[in-house]
Chain A
Amino acid sequence: MSDSSIVVDNITKTFGGVVANKDVSLKVKKGGITGLIGPNGSGKTTLFNSIVGHHPIDSGSIKFEDQEISTFRVQQIARLGLLRTFQQTRIYGKMNCVENMLISIPHRKTGFWDMFASRDSETQENADRLLEFVGLYEKRWLRAGDLSFGQQKLLEFAMALMNEPTVLMLDEPTAGINPTLINGLIDRLKRANEEFGITLFVIEHNMRVIMNLADHIYCLAHGQMLAEGKPDEVQNDQRVIDAYLGAH
């Protein structure tokens, strides 16, 4: 058993002629918070999609807890305990927040007949607790589609926690969130990491957020791995600064 949760080894992904990821390798440390940064169009989301099984990869290998998952489909991967949130928030819009939470239980632990399980108080309490945790408790009977964008993002985060994943991959968790809420969100992400022991892997544009949050950062540019290291190392890396300022 290695101490890495996700090991991505030399993966390449092209769309038609466009090379989105070229020979990218990285490791996500178990129990840690790993960050992924890079300018727009550098292939971060493509890398996420490759890992969670959204599309096939051209070459390379992806391992999750020492198991090769590069040919698995989304559901299989999700049921291993590797979960992602979307950049464009996705929640079940016509259901209320509580229902959104109740259906986000860890399906990998359920059998066929659990499909017809009625609502139990334990799950209900868990859902309430997590809604409280992200600050949506008062709005829990509203339809999720009627919430503001930032609130939907928080709801999606709560749903992910409800699923009790071992690894949670977050695609720009703070994009579109009111700046005053961002600190609270960082705090909650850290608490989720510490209290629930969930490994986090985060794409983020906001440098202040990622520097505060992550303990190890990878930087992608033009589909290739540019730099990696501790936050302050990456922050002071000339190549990273050049990539962000557009010098080539």
Chain B
Amino acid sequence: MNTGFAKSVLYVCVLALGIFLPIIFPAYIGQMTLLWLMVIFALTWDILGGQMGYNSLGNIFFFGVGMYAAAMIQVSMYYDLAEYTSPAGGGIYEFSFSQYFTGMTVGFTVAALVSVVFAIILGRLVFGLRGPYFAIGTLAIATVAGELVSTWELVGGGGGLSLPNFPGEPSGSRTLFYSMMFLLAIATFSFLKWLYSTRFGLAINAIRDDEEKAEGMGIRTLQHKTVAWSISAFFLGIAGAIFGNFNNFIEPLEVAFPTTTFGIFMVLMVLLGGKGTLWGPVIGAVLFHIIKELTWTYLLGWQWVALGVLIVITVVYFQQGIMGWLMEKYPHWFGIRVEGAKQRLSDMMDEAAK
């Protein structure tokens, strides 16, 4: 079968599912919004973790930064932020239709930019760390960020803050945020598909395989690492901004910087699907989300234990992931072949026949 044709069928199927599933099952639209968020998590984690070999445990930091940046902009464009978040305030804050959407547009843009700026600054620091120190260092950054925001009274501290209410029917808001998350996931996927086909993709793969060699060959490793992290931060920042509005309420430890839930999920999803591939994170995210929902429903109380066991099993016994397993089993599907081997074999057969 023609692989190009198979691929286009696949893309059309995914698009069709993304568009029609929420229409057929409107009750699950929130779940599906989360599913696309998981896909974005996995895809952005894989840029560093899979393609570049830098296993970050703190990518969730940018998610929280984007969320808070957008929230602050959206509120402070029309009201005094300190008053808005003060526990004594209790005023009624209305956002008109145009205020809501202008705020959101500006907020999302700022969220993306602030995340990227943070990525560039922090990149200077953390990319000096290697191996486990990088993982621990990034984890520390996300944790510290959560703790710091908890003490920041302007944004409501540990109590969090509510975002502007959607000016319209609640079902309209659900459709809106679903479409946003869906489009962002598609955009992330397409961008990464393009990115991995360029020289940049090769360069970060080179860094993964042997960073010292890459330096020795003159690749600007720090520049590549910082850009890779910034791309990750860009999409995560927007995802955070959307999720904050979707959730309508944000708070530092559980929603914005959840290092032990979302922060670990993104790693696990990529490992499950197969790191260093384009489709692996997507497959991993879908599978993980299904497993997670099933355990949350049927193993109530024990779901976290089940999650821990899933982490251990995936990491210890199935680290190559689904795509990695396929690659081992069917290498020719992925273009690994010896040119002319068949030809030579048939030549030998011909000779033997003579």
Whether the Cβ atoms of B218 and A94 lie closer than 8 Å is: no
A:97-141 near B, CB below 8 Å: 99, 102-108, 112, 114-119, 137-141
CA distance A86 to B200 in the complex (A): 24
**Contact indicator B210/A115 (Cβ below 8 Å):** no
A94 and B205 in contact, given A83-B216, A108-B218 (Cβ under 8 angstroms): yes
Which residues of chain B are near A139, meaning CB under 8 Å? 338-339
CB-nearest residue of chain B to A74? B215
Within the assembled complex, what's the spacing in Å between the Cα atoms of A78 and B223?
A: 15
* A-B interface pairs (CB < 8 A), number: 107
Cross-chain contact A75 with B199 (CB below 8 angstroms): no
Say whether A33 faces chain B, with CB atoms less than 8 Å apart.
Answer: no
Q: Is the CB of B213 within 8 A of A90?
A: yes
Chain A residues contacting B338 (CB-CB under 8 Å) are 138-139, 141-142
User: A105 to nearest B CB, angstroms?
Assistant: 8
Given contacts A75-B215, A75-B219, contact A116 B340 (CB under 8 A): no
CA distance A151 to B216 in the complex (A): 20
| A114 and B217 contact, CB distance less than 8 A | no
Q: Which residue of A lies closest to B341 (CB)?
A: A138
Q: Tell me if B174 is interfacial: C-beta within 8 Å of chain A.
A: no
At the interface, yes or no: A93 with Cβ under 8 Å from chain B?
yes
Distance to closest chain B CB from A62 (angstroms): 16
User: Which A residues are in CB contact (< 8 Å) with B218?
Assistant: 75, 78-79, 83, 106-108, 163
Convert A206-228 into 0s and 1s, putting 1 for each residue whose CB lies closer than 8 angstroms to a CB of B. 00000000000000000000000
Do residues A91 and B210 form an inter-chain contact, with CB atoms below 8 A?
yes
Nearest CB on A from B307, distance (A): 29
User: Does any Cβ of A come within 8 Å of B337's Cβ?
Assistant: yes
> Chain B interface residue count: which class?
20 to 34
Judge if B264 is at the interface, Cβ distance under 8 Å. no
Q: Give the complex CA separation of A54 and B227 in angstroms.
A: 25
| A99 contact from B202, B227, B339, B340, Cβ within 8 A | B202
Are A75 and B221 closer than 8 Å at their CB atoms?
yes
Q: Within 8 Å CB of A104, what residues of B?
A: 217
CB–CB A114/B199 < 8 A: yes
Given A107-B218, A107-B219, A116-B200, A95-B212 contact (CB < 8 Å): no
B155 interface hit (Cβ, 8 Å):
no
Chain A residues closer than 8 Å to B209, beta-carbon distance: 91-95
Indicate whether B98 reaches chain A with its CB closer than 8 angstroms: no
- In the assembled complex, A52 has its CB within 8 A of some CB on chain B: yes
A153 CB–B CB distance under 8 Å: no
Chain B residues with Cβ below 8 Å from A83 are: 216-218
Contact with A along B65-98 (1 / 0, CB 8 A): 0000000000000000000000000000000000
Pairwise interchain contact B199-A140, C-beta atoms closer than 8 A: no
CB contacts (< 8 Å) of A138 on chain B: these are 338-341
- With both beta carbons as reference points, the residue of chain B lying nearest to A102 in the complex is identified as B202
Q: Determine how close the nearest CB of chain A comes to the CB of B345; give it in whole angstroms.
A: 13
Interface residues of chain B: helix, strand, loop or mixed (majority): helix
Interface check B335, CB cutoff 8 A:
yes
Q: How far is the CA of A188 from the CA of B144 in the complex (A)?
A: 56
Distance of A141 Cα from B338 Cα, bound (Å): 6
Our pick among B195, B206, B223 for the contact of A103 (Cβ within 8 Å) is B206
* Chain B residues with CB under 8 A of A103: 199, 202-203, 205-206, 217, 219
B215's partner among A78, A86, A99 (CB-CB below 8 A) is A78
B3 located at the interface, meaning its Cβ lies under 8 Å from any Cβ of chain A in the complex: no
Tell me the residues in window 20-57 of chain A with beta carbons closer than 8 Å to chain B beta carbons: 52
Verify if A205 is at the interface (C-beta below 8 Å from B): no
Chain B proximity of A169: nearest CB distance (Å): 10
Collect the chain B residues with CB atoms within 8 Å of residue A90's CB: 210, 212-213, 216
In the complex, the answer to whether B221 meets A141 with C-beta atoms within 8 Å is: no
Tell me whether A239 is interfacial, beta carbon within 8 Å.
no
CB-contacts of B183-212 with A (<8 A):
195, 197-200, 202-203, 205-206, 208-210, 212
Cβ contact within 8 Å between A84 and B216: yes
Docked CA distance A86–B213 (Å): 9
Q: Check B205 against A163 for contact (C-beta < 8 Å).
A: no
A79-B218, A107-B217, A115-B224 as given contacts; A141 in contact with B339, CB under 8 Å: yes
Instruction: Assess A92 versus B210: contact at CB under 8 Å? Given A115-B203, A141-B339.
Output: yes
With both beta carbons as reference points, the residue of chain B lying nearest to A100 in the complex is identified as B206
The answer to the question of B124 belonging to the interface, with a C-beta cut-off of 8 Å to chain A, is no
**Chain A: CB-nearest residue to B207:** A92
A63 sits at the interface (CB 8 A): no
Known A-B contacts A115-B227, A141-B335, A141-B339; A159 and B217 likewise in contact (beta carbons under 8 Å):
yes
Question: CA A75 – CA B214 in complex, angstroms?
Answer: 9
User: In the complex, are the beta carbons of A102 and B199 less than 8 A apart?
Assistant: yes
A4 within 8 A of B: no
Closest to B222 in A: A75
- Minimal beta-carbon separation of A224 from chain B (angstroms): 27
For residue B203, which residues in chain A have a CB less than 8 angstroms away from its CB? 103, 115
Per the bound structure, the CA–CA distance linking A163 and B212 in Å amounts to: 16
How many whole Å from A160's CB to the nearest CB in chain B?
A: 8
8 A–B contact pairs at CB < 8 A?
A74-B212, A94-B205, A103-B202, A115-B203, A116-B199, A138-B339, A142-B338, A163-B217
Known: A91-B209, A107-B219. 20 other contacts (CB 8 A): A52-B216, A75-B218, A75-B219, A75-B221, A78-B217, A92-B214, A96-B336, A102-B199, A103-B206, A104-B217, A105-B199, A115-B203, A115-B223, A115-B224, A115-B227, A117-B199, A118-B197, A119-B199, A139-B339, A142-B336
By Cβ-Cβ distance, the 6 closest A-B pairs, closest first, are A78-B218, A92-B209, A107-B218, A103-B202, A90-B213, A79-B218
